[in-house]
Structure 1
């Protein structure tokens, strides 16, 4: 029986930043996937991981990311990557979240960056705030110093929502972040695109979400 649906934010409720990464690499003549490969190497302790736990300031992140990417073949400044992160909200996913909220508990676990790392876009921020209000509880990596896939962050969410992991559905666009949730007993959905994710969520919850 489903009691709660827990969501990742970027790449789930918004379009994936991977598309922006690929476009940036093409425009700059960089090796394909250099940004994703830099993020993936030593993914618990690299510049990205430390920044999402708020262990680095923006200047230290900028230079460490440049070092790490250069070691893989091409220098990319961390500050150049940050503007690529704010994807567009997917209205159909937001609508699915609204319908889920009317029936189940909702949570959001997001690996995010320290406040003001990307800069503010006031119109977008207002809309994002409306979406975030649909969650009963939100856990942000940069605020608690833990990030996915650390199993503790998922346990914190189930404790806050007062639910058994076996009664939860968890959506994320990264397989590495789904694994700990699945091992805890959650039903997991890897988000490839909105129609696929919504269809799987409808099957898991028994709700009509479109």
Structure 2
């Protein structure tokens, strides 16, 4: 899409995408900041994939999510429609209360602080009431700044985050320990 829409070579498109991801947090963030693009056309193109071909039901994830006695939301730089498709393919959509996508935060993508402020407004929540689970440290920093408990997945512990787990399935037991400590 970048190659065709900006009339650049494949190599230039790859370089632009990487630069935009680094500078703006997403390719779309860079495209909207530096070019006049049709956002809906871009989102339709990048999300036009046969999800079910690549994503299968995950009963272990479903069980872990069911065991967490808190309201749960997905916060994504994708559209909420795309995220719901992925969640349905994983067979976990009924374990979540909300999906907050790029449109719901008025195209303020992660890791912009404003995206997290809009997320909290959407959820009618305060930062300290939330546990933010992410696989990128850069996307945890704004949440931490707003008082969220931060959990880094699939990575080694970082000083900037509250907790790190090796696998997303470890989030459930971690939340159980946090709730138990809170009740003590």
Q: Would you say same fold, with TM above 0.5? A: yes
The 1:89/1:35 distance shift into structure 2, 3 A limit, reads farther
The counterpart of 2:113, out of the listed 132, 141, 151, is 151
Whether 1:41 aligns to 2:2 is: no
Q: List structure 1 segments (4+ residues) > 4 angstroms apart after TM superposition.
A: 34-39, 50-55, 82-90, 113-116
Does the CA contact (< 8 Å) of 2:23 and 2:30 recur in 1? no
1:203 shift after superposition: 2.6
* Higher RCO (CA 8 Å, separation ≥ 6 residues): 1
Counting matched residue pairs gives 148
Distance in 2 between the 1:49 and 1:137 partners? 23
- Provide the aligned C-alpha RMSD in A: 4.2
Residue aligning to 1:70:
none
Whether 1:106 aligns to 2:68 is: no
Does the CA contact (< 8 Å) of 1:149 and 1:180 recur in 2? yes
Residue aligning to 2:123:
161
Whether 1:178 aligns to 2:140 is: yes
1:157 shift after superposition: 3.0
1:88 shift after superposition: 5.2
Q: What are the residue-to-residue correspondences of 1:23-102 with 2, within 5 Å?
A: 37-38=18-19, 40-44=21-25, 47-50=27-30, 56=39, 90-100=58-68
Greater percentage in helix: 2
Report Cα offsets for 1:112-142 as digits up to 9, x if no partner: 15968xxxx8xx67435x5233322221114
Q: Unpaired runs of 5+ in structure 1?
A: 1-29, 62-77
Residue aligning to 1:203:
177
The 1:190/1:145 distance shift into structure 2, 3 A limit, reads same
Distance in 1 between the 2:16 and 2:174 partners? 30
The 1:177/1:132 distance shift into structure 2, 3 A limit, reads same
Residue aligning to 1:18:
none
Distance in 1 between the 2:81 and 2:99 partners? 15
1:39 shift after superposition: 5.7
Distance in 1 between the 2:169 and 2:94 partners? 23
Does the CA contact (< 8 Å) of 1:50 and 1:56 recur in 2? no
SS at the partner of 2:72? Answer: strand
